[in-house]
Amino acid sequence: MSEIDFVLDEVRTRWAAINITRVLEGGGFGSVSRHHKTGLRYGIAGFNLTEHTLSALLYTYLKESHTVTAKRLQDIYLPDLLHSHEQRWMLRMDDRLRQLLRAAANEPWMRRTQVDCAVAFFWDFMQMHYSQPRGGLHLPLSYALLYDITVCLVQDPPYIHWAHTELGLTEQTPLSLDMEKMLMRYLALEIYIPYCKKQYQSHQSRSEHNRAMFWQQCFDAEDWLLQGNADGMVDIAGRQLQIQRPWNLLAL
Q: Is residue 240, in this structure, part of any structural domain at all?
A: yes
Q: Is residue 2, in this structure, part of any structural domain at all?
A: no
CA 182 to chain centre: 22
Q: Is residue 4, in this structure, part of any structural domain at all?
A: no
Cβ atoms within 10 A of the Cβ of 140, count?
24
Give Cα separations from 207 to 21, 60, 151, 240, 250 (angstroms).
10, 26, 12, 16, 24
Q: Is residue 1, in this structure, part of any structural domain at all?
A: no
Cβ atoms within 10 A of the Cβ of 96, count?
11
Structural domain of 30: 10-251
Q: Which of 25, 122, 91, 104 is nearest to 64 (CA)?
A: 104
Alpha-carbon dihedral of residues 27, 30, 33, 35, nearest 10 degrees? 90
Q: Is residue 89, in this structure, part of any structural domain at all?
A: yes
Residues of the chain predicted below pLDDT 50:
none
Q: Is residue 3, in this structure, part of any structural domain at all?
A: no
Is 18 in a helix, a strand, or coil?
helix
Which residues are CB-neighbours of 175 under 8 A, at least 6 positions away? 134, 137, 138, 169, 183
Return the sign of the alpha-carbon dihedral for residues 69, 72, 75, 79. negative
Is 74 in a helix, a strand, or coil?
helix
Q: Are the beta carbons of 144 and 13 closer than 8 angstroms?
A: yes
Overall number of domains in the chain: 1
Q: What pTM did the predictor assign?
A: 0.92
Q: Are the beta carbons of 14 and 123 closer than 8 angstroms?
A: yes
Residue 5 is classified by DSSP as T
Q: Which of 251, 250, 210 is nearest to 234 (CA)?
A: 210
Residue 231 is classified by DSSP as T
